[in-house]
Structure 1
Amino acid sequence: MIKFCCHTHVDIAMEEIIDECEVAPVVELLTENDKLSTSCSYCEETPVYKVSNE
């Protein structure tokens, strides 16, 4: 599971990974090279973090 999120929603993404996958989430800061054309998984903001279970 991978969630791209803004500063505001990083906590929610981490909680979802913990609840659904029962593992500690991996939080990565997106660099300028990683910036996506997609928005945050929870709002329309530009994602800043990638939160995953991998």
Structure 2
Amino acid sequence: MEKFRSPNYATIKMKKKMKENTQMKIFCCQEHVELGIDVFVDEEETFPSLNTVDNSSNLSTDCEYCQNKAAYIVSN
């Protein structure tokens, strides 16, 4: 007879796999870049990549912590 695993095991395994396949991006301004790095390290448990936002495309991307224009992207 085959053993049946609880739905909790399947849910945990699925969430772990989804987390491995997603890319975390945090848009932040100059004032909140340290907070963005801290949140990224807490969530991903690894060091982030820090890039400047390219303003040549004329996209207005706001900081995730305030309404200022984002200057950096914290991502993996």
Short-chain TM bin? 0.7 to 0.9
The corresponding residue for 1:25 is 48
Residues 22, 35 of structure 1: alpha-carbon distance in 2 compared, 3 angstrom cutoff: farther
Aligned length: 53
Contact 1:27–1:51, Cα closer than 8 Å, also in 2: yes
Match of residue 11 from structure 1? 34
Distance (Å, rounded) in 2 between the aligned partners of 1:31 and 1:37:
10
Cα RMSD (Å): 1.3
State TM-score, norm by structure 1: 0.86
- Structure 2's unaligned 5+ residue stretches are 1-23
Matched residue, 2:5 = none
Deviation at 1:38, TM superposition (A): 2.9
CA distance in structure 2 between the partners assigned to 1:41 and 1:12 by the alignment: 10
Give the 3 Å change call, closer, same or farther, for CA 38–26 of structure 1 in structure 2: same
Q: Which has the higher strand share?
A: 1
Work out which structure has the larger RCO, using CA pairs closer than 8 Å and 6 or more positions apart in sequence: 1
Instruction: Give the % identical residues.
Output: 38
Q: If the length of structure 2 is used for normalisation, what is the TM-score?
A: 0.63
